[in-house]
Structure 1
């Protein structure tokens, strides 16, 4: 089964700008979604110095800025649909 790699930035800036909430959202997803994910956390994804707003995530190598709880759920569900 192909897994989706999800990396959440939990560096200081991302953490206080919502990264902590993103971690909680991922951990509370239903098991039928979690089984398709490889979740990891990074102290920094190296994105904070640009014009994009934190928090940042990386999904299968693609960096995404300004992720909210709702957008994270949408992103993950869409990725899971693509691999099922």
Structure 2
């Protein structure tokens, strides 16, 4: 199975609004989950001028707004439900 592509926005607005915490979540994930992720960080996903609230992520090409630590874990587990 291909790895899940996860991009986390760490631009100023996203970073201040929780993006920094999302990085911490990724660093604390167990190895059996991390090995199935391609994680990258972006200075901007181009979403900050819309009506949706930061922080933003992109998972397998789908953008998600207002991501919290708990919702990030849930989103990752949903993407990996057939793997782990």
Q: TM-score, normalised by structure 1?
A: 0.96
What's 1:43 paired with?
43
Q: Distance in 1 between the 2:12 and 2:73 partners? A: 22
What's 1:79 paired with?
79
Q: C-alpha deviations, 1:45-73, integer Å up to 9, x for none?
A: 00000000000000000000000000000
1:13 is displaced (CA, Å) by 0.1
Alignment map for 1:4-83 (pairs within 5 Å): 4-82=4-82
Q: Distance in 2 between the 1:46 and 1:25 partners? A: 22
**Cα RMSD for the two superposed structures:** 0.7
Equivalent position SS for 1:47: coil
Q: TM-score, normalised by structure 2?
A: 0.96
Unaligned runs of 5+ in 1: none
1:27 is displaced (CA, Å) by 1.1
